[in-house]
Amino acid sequence: MAGGVTAAGLLAACGTNTGRSSGGGTIEQWYHAYGEAGVQQAVERYAKAYTDATVQVQWNPGDYDSKIASALAASNGPDVFESTLRVDMVRSKQIVSLDDLLGDARSDFTESVLASHTVDGQVYGIPQAVDMQMLFYRKSLLAKAGVQPPSSVAELIDAARRLTTDKVKGLFLGNDGGVGVLAGPLLWSAGLDYLTPDHKVGFDDPLAAESVGKLRQLFTSNSLLLGAPADWSDPSAFTQGLTAMQWTGLWTVPQVQKALGDDFGVLPWPALNGAGKASVPFGAYGSMVNAKSTKIDAAKKYVQWLWVQRGDYQQDFDLSYGFHIPARKSLAAKADKLKSGPAADAVRFVQDLGRPQNPPPWTAKMQLALSDSLNKIVRSGADATTELKNAAGSVQTELKRLYG
């Protein structure tokens, strides 16, 4: 068992098979397994169209983020890959700066999205596609209960209560009561953040305790749907009428439209008070280049060609198969699918209210500490101030490791 934990790392370290034996000039590129049909064929088509080098695409089902993390720590990683940016990758010199690839296109990328791929002023990932989460509500059920779409946390709690009947719950935030996906929105709604811009803990504040306390209030109010067969990322609970409102993602819009037609609207997570702001979290995979690659220059050129120069490919990649927002404003504005209805709202939310779900300095260890304390507060009823202080302590240790 003790071996089991380190065996993976050991094997990764000992691996000598670089997977690049198929030819000196071949660039190896990794994607995670996108769920939508046709994406794999599309990215293979783009790779084939590149004439300056041979590009070999690898499709990776399963826990892709962990796989990339261990491949980067070892020497058998791909040359080009998609990932969210974590400051650890930069600190351990696992990836190279791509700041010089953007050129004139820099201003065309949505600022907050590009910022989520920037560490110490350098861009390390070229954003490919934006996914975001927001609150879906059923218009007819709200009208029946005489409830207006909520614009503050207090109104949301009240709406959830009034929409709850013996058959339908008011709100679904995930089977964990929203603890997993709402950490960011809860802090932003109180005018706080995970971390401050000068790398200090951002949530060691009475307002954070108050905001998390609101989720606890919802959790115990009997108006939250808990233990649904499909979790928050799937629209089933909403489309099957188990809940009147649900926190889920932009990717569910086609399914919800098919099931409910026009009978739904979308909202950001509302503000707690005057100091806070409504928000939507977004996540954006960016294309990165492995610092251990033997052909960094060729890989950078390929990334520039695919994600900066070929706007038509980004448009195809984002809109022809699934439902993502192009990272480039000009493409998002052109897309017919995103011009009306909830999808248009979503684009506006990301541009005006979007915050990165996992900003680069927010490490997995910090996430583990905050997630533990949110679980204790919201689900087990522990004291919010004490638990958030504990989490702040762990985050402080991580910050010290990263920034001294």
Footprint on this chain of another protein (rule: CB under 8 A): 1-10, 12-13, 63, 65-66, 69-70, 73, 86, 88, 92, 94, 167, 174-177, 179-181, 219, 225-229, 231, 233, 242, 363-365, 367-368, 371-372, 375-376, 379-381, 401
* Of residues 94 and 128, the one with the C-beta less far from another protein: 94
Q: What is the helix, strand, coil percentage profile of the chain, to 5?
A: 45, 20, 35
* Of residues 69 and 353, the one with the C-beta less far from another protein: 69
Paired tokens of 83: 């990932």
* Of residues 70 and 255, the one with the C-beta less far from another protein: 70
Spatial CA neighbour of 402 closest among 356, 357, 359: 359
Asked if 74 and 15 count as a contact pair (C-beta separation under 8 A), the reply is: yes
Paired tokens of 387: 């638990």
**Shortest reach from residue 371's CB to another protein, in Å:** 5
* CA gap 237, 233 in Å, rounded: 10
**Shortest reach from residue 66's CB to another protein, in Å:** 5
**Shortest reach from residue 318's CB to another protein, in Å:** 22
* Of residues 72 and 338, the one with the C-beta less far from another protein: 72
Backbone phi, psi, residue 281, to 5°: -85, 140
* CA gap 45, 39 in Å, rounded: 10
Asked if 268 and 151 count as a contact pair (C-beta separation under 8 A), the reply is: no
DSSP state of 382: -
**Shortest reach from residue 375's CB to another protein, in Å:** 4
* Of residues 180 and 191, the one with the C-beta less far from another protein: 180
* CA gap 76, 260 in Å, rounded: 47
* CA gap 256, 251 in Å, rounded: 10
**Shortest reach from residue 174's CB to another protein, in Å:** 7
* Of residues 193 and 231, the one with the C-beta less far from another protein: 231
**Shortest reach from residue 256's CB to another protein, in Å:** 19
Question: Around Cβ 89, how many Cβ atoms within 10 Å?
Answer: 23
| Amino acid letter, residue 333 | A
Paired tokens of 88: 């650890």
Asked if 83 and 285 count as a contact pair (C-beta separation under 8 A), the reply is: yes
* CA gap 246, 171 in Å, rounded: 6
123: region left, alpha or beta (phi > 0 left; psi from -120 to 50 alpha): beta
**Shortest reach from residue 93's CB to another protein, in Å:** 10
**Shortest reach from residue 395's CB to another protein, in Å:** 13
* Of residues 89 and 338, the one with the C-beta less far from another protein: 89
* Of residues 93 and 198, the one with the C-beta less far from another protein: 93
